[in-house]
Amino acid sequence: MGVKIIKTGRKVPHKKVTNFDLEKILDTTNEWIKDRTGIINRHISTNETSSSLAIEACQELIKDKDINLSEIGLIICATMTPDTLIPTVAANVKKALKIEHSITFDINVACSGFLYAVSVAESMMKNLNIKKGIVVGVDLNSQLVDWKDRGTAIVFGDGAGSVLLSSEKNSDSGILSTFLDNIDDNDNSLILKNISYKTPFNNLENEYEFFKLEMLGPKVMKFAINAINTSILSVIKSSNISLDKIKYIIPHQANQRIIDAAVKNLKIPNEKFYINIDNYANTSAGSIPIALDELNKNNLLKKGDYIILVGFGGGLSFGAILLKW
């Protein structure tokens, strides 16, 4: 039995923020951002939440009449920005979609979250005999970044992407190979401390302490380039499908220069990498499924195409999934 992606969806906030908009609030320029990252726009929440974006991205998956809601036995949300910790974002999705019974939970593996969630969903669907499952990746990075720090604020955006997975008994398509790993972040290159509250038993001076994302950009970039190479080569090796047979590689959209380095190192033609960072910036757990949905909705994916999803992020986590469409 294999597990296959049968539908895709996405939702981003309605407000577009351009590099020119950022010039007005940060010591930066459109040219610098474009040249160093490939980013031109990003979507930033005004009133949207992680749950509202995830819900709308998932409503896309079930709008066709052929979807039987009672078959959806699993909903996993990958996010590091849940607007409610309890209930989980996945539980909010379940309620909004009016799915009566389903396993629901959130996971946080930073920007690698979507890949990890798909892998967990695949295993659970096989082990627990679940017919259909939803994985949604969503992040509201505008809540995490320090809007006074030009080194981090310019690279992130908000958004959600979703997939509907189906257990298929007699199909040679679906997920063929997965590689996931984590190396220690010895340089503290990506850190977001959690909020702490004063209690009668700790030494906190204020009622609470909260933190913003801290990132050593060039260190993350070095890690990311290696992570992409290792992950792509690992899924290729374990699937016995040669790199030239791959139709598209959908990378986590963090920086155009990271993707350019992968093109050079792996000698993969540029056009195989699907890139939409110009319009969304880095949406963390949302980035790979948003790109996948764009490819799918633009009818660029054909039955039988081999595709690699590859990502990396805080942790330091990384990985790839090779699938046959």
Is 252 known to be catalytic? yes
Is residue 309 within 8 Å of residue 323, measured between CB atoms?
yes
Q: In one letter, which amino acid is 83?
A: D
Structure tokens at 323: 């699938």
Q: How many residues contact ligand UT7, by CB under 6 A?
A: 20
Question: Would you call 250 helix, strand, or coil by DSSP?
Answer: strand
**Quick one: which of 6, 15, 28, 146 contacts ligand UT7 (CB under 6 A)?**
28
CB of 5 to ligand UT7, least distance (A): 22
Characterize 197-222 residue by residue with b for buried, 16 or more Cβ atoms within 10 angstroms of its Cβ, and e for exposed.
eeeeeeeeeeeeeeebbebbbebbee
Of residues 203 through 242, those in contact with ligand UT7 by CB under 6 A are 215, 217-218, 220-221, 224
Query: What span, in angstroms and rounded, lies between the C-alpha atoms of 173 and 165?
Result: 12
Which candidate in 58, 77, 111, 296 is catalytic?
111
Q: In one letter, which amino acid is 216?
A: L
Q: Which of 238, 110, 102, 111 is nearest to 164 (CA)?
A: 102
Is residue 304 within 8 Å of residue 324, measured between CB atoms?
yes
Of the pair 133, 157, the CB lying nearest ligand UT7 is at 157
Of the pair 28, 265, the CB lying nearest ligand UT7 is at 28
String marking each residue 281-300 x if it binds ligand UT7 according to CB under 6 A: -x------------------
Of the pair 59, 182, the CB lying nearest ligand UT7 is at 182
Residue 150 binds ligand UT7 (CB under 6 A): yes
Query: Torsion angle, CA of 186/192/198/199, rounded to 10 degrees?
Result: -70
Q: Which helix (H) or strand (E) holds 98?
A: none
**Quick one: which of 6, 21, 32, 67 contacts ligand UT7 (CB under 6 A)?**
32
Q: Which stretch binds ligand UT7 (CB under 6 A): 28-36, 171-179, 260-268, 272-280?
A: 28-36
**Quick one: which of 8, 37, 92, 102 contacts ligand UT7 (CB under 6 A)?**
37
Structure tokens at 308: 């690699």
Question: In the block, which residue shows the tokens 């469409």?
Answer: 325
Annotated active-site positions, please? 111, 252, 282
Tell me which residues touch ligand UT7 (CB under 6 A): 28, 32-33, 36-37, 111, 150-151, 154-155, 215, 217-218, 220-221, 224, 254-255, 282, 313
